[in-house]
Chains A and B, each alone.
Chain A
């Protein structure tokens, strides 16, 4: 049970089908499989213990991922948006390392060790005489090691073993389920779990992977047309920008007639954005996928039918589901627990726990699974009567005010619907009067005005007085990382002084 088996099967079943398109160049499944075997041999011969990649998306991504797994080495893609010092710290944690790096990053970061420039690496593995390579057999070998974003401390090294990733793919993807005409556009970076699962899902379904190394909404739209894209995965901030671009450039949505499916995840999707997307692209099937690095990607999903019924109905409970992340995959269990570990019922808010064969819940040196295999996600949320999961933010982000738990999400959701407000973030701030108070950062829409007093009234009327912020700041924009995660730590710092 080695993830390279997924590629081996694709190469066996449809060797000459196009597997990957990068900057207009195509690669077939047999080309990728041959290259992965050469890569495996090179990695094994190098004596290195890890294979790392400091680069944007390119053919080196699937080849290194699969080649490393064959050689029994962990594949460790690194976030190229980190500072030089941060990158050096992470690299130091995976030595000796075979590091694949682009020229651009090679010049930016002064790294030592076994460095291999991307084009040279590809030259060594592509279009060579096929060789045999016996893939490592141990299903519990670490296939992927991802450093978490480290918003609260030093990045943790999350470990995903072959068995977790293979379980996820076998449980959620039909082998060769795609027609040869299908193509999926991937714009998430390779160091994100969604970037890893996208590669594996595309390979196992034999759906051509179209890589967009540097996301821009205009390029995304162009690639959709040029490459006849049928499927795509985006993070919420990308979808927002794509819709804005379509409106600004008067892009005709009918031109996207080939696009049948868009999945999104990796952060909270504002309901007005998905509503607009459903209106603008009525022929597209939208799927909301919720998952974490530690769970090998998707654990719950809100499927296209859920989207449509939530969009069309007058039933409040069904309408509300557009803000949910849907129901667990058939192979995944979800529970909500309170601080004492008691399992909560429908509608009760607590911490989300998950269990299933794809759940690793393991960091370098320690597993955080409980004795029965449950993983505490540190995400807060609740299930509705029909088992739909609603997220209310990270458990650490909950604002505790005078013994009352306030979820930032409830304030932000309200404000996202306000016509004058483009974006909003609620955080906890130290208060003289109470242990913690609500602080609010607001981005107004262009040409719109609203006073702090009016905002306070709006929140008091629709929520409760405890939700009224003690401090409000109007800002140009909120700090998001490149995969659409709001950096609450940065927002909190605004209110610290």
Chain B
């Protein structure tokens, strides 16, 4: 699968859906230990128990190097990984509403 800004992927193990905000580096995007896919399979795969901590709609997820940024657009039970590295939520400064 090609990971580029705007690409959308679904989890093979849960309800999660993500959109790629920023892409870079080689690696596979997984959710619950299973590669994410463009179209959800008819039958769900079993997630890896150690990678089932969930992802939350509206949160942005990045790797340590900040080479990749993923927006979760639908919550799910699986955790997001890229190239074997668990992605963490990006802390953003809270801004007052300007419009």
Q: Which of A13, A163, A171, A197 meets B99, CB within 8 Å?
A: A197
Interface presence of A63 (CB below 8 A): no
Interface presence of B6 (CB below 8 A): yes
Interface presence of A57 (CB below 8 A): no
Q: Which of A1, A12, A297, A304 meets B6, CB within 8 Å?
A: A1
Contact with B along A28-70 (1 / 0, CB 8 A): 0000000000000000000000000000000000000000000
Interface presence of B21 (CB below 8 A): yes
Stretch at the interface among A172-180, A237-245, A479-487: A172-180
* Overall SS of chain B's interface: loop
- Residue count of chain A within 8 Å CB distance of chain B: 41
Do the beta carbons of B96 and A304 come within 8 Å of each other?
Answer: yes
Interface presence of B98 (CB below 8 A): yes
Bound-state Cα–Cα, A1 to B97, Å = 22
Bound-state Cα–Cα, A174 to B71, Å = 12
Do the beta carbons of A261 and B96 come within 8 Å of each other?
Answer: yes
Do the beta carbons of A13 and B98 come within 8 Å of each other?
Answer: no
Interface presence of B10 (CB below 8 A): no
Interface presence of A303 (CB below 8 A): yes
* Overall SS of chain A's interface: mixed
How many of chain B's residues touch chain A, expressed as a range?
20 to 34
Do the beta carbons of B97 and A201 come within 8 Å of each other?
Answer: yes
Interface presence of A392 (CB below 8 A): no
For B69, the closest partner residue in chain A by CB is A170
Do the beta carbons of A194 and B58 come within 8 Å of each other?
Answer: no
For B8, the closest partner residue in chain A by CB is A137
Do the beta carbons of A287 and B6 come within 8 Å of each other?
Answer: no
Residues of B within 8 A of A138 (CB): 6
Interface presence of A298 (CB below 8 A): yes
Q: Which of B8, B57, B74, B95 meets A172, CB within 8 Å?
A: B95
Residues of B within 8 A of A174 (CB): 58, 92, 94
Do the beta carbons of B21 and A301 come within 8 Å of each other?
Answer: no
Do the beta carbons of B58 and A172 come within 8 Å of each other?
Answer: no
Do the beta carbons of B21 and A5 come within 8 Å of each other?
Answer: no
Bound-state Cα–Cα, A184 to B99, Å = 9
A–B Cβ pairs within 8 angstroms, 8 of them:
A1-B5, A5-B73, A12-B57, A173-B95, A176-B57, A263-B98, A263-B99, A297-B98
Instruction: Mark A residues whose CB is within 8 Å of B.
Output: 1-2, 5, 8-9, 12-13, 137-139, 162-163, 170-176, 184, 194, 197-198, 201, 205, 207, 231, 233, 261, 263, 265, 285, 287, 289, 297-298, 301, 303-304, 329-330
Given contacts A9-B57, A162-B6, A205-B97, 10 further A-B contacts (CB under 8 A): A1-B6, A5-B19, A9-B74, A137-B8, A138-B6, A197-B99, A261-B96, A263-B97, A301-B98, A329-B95
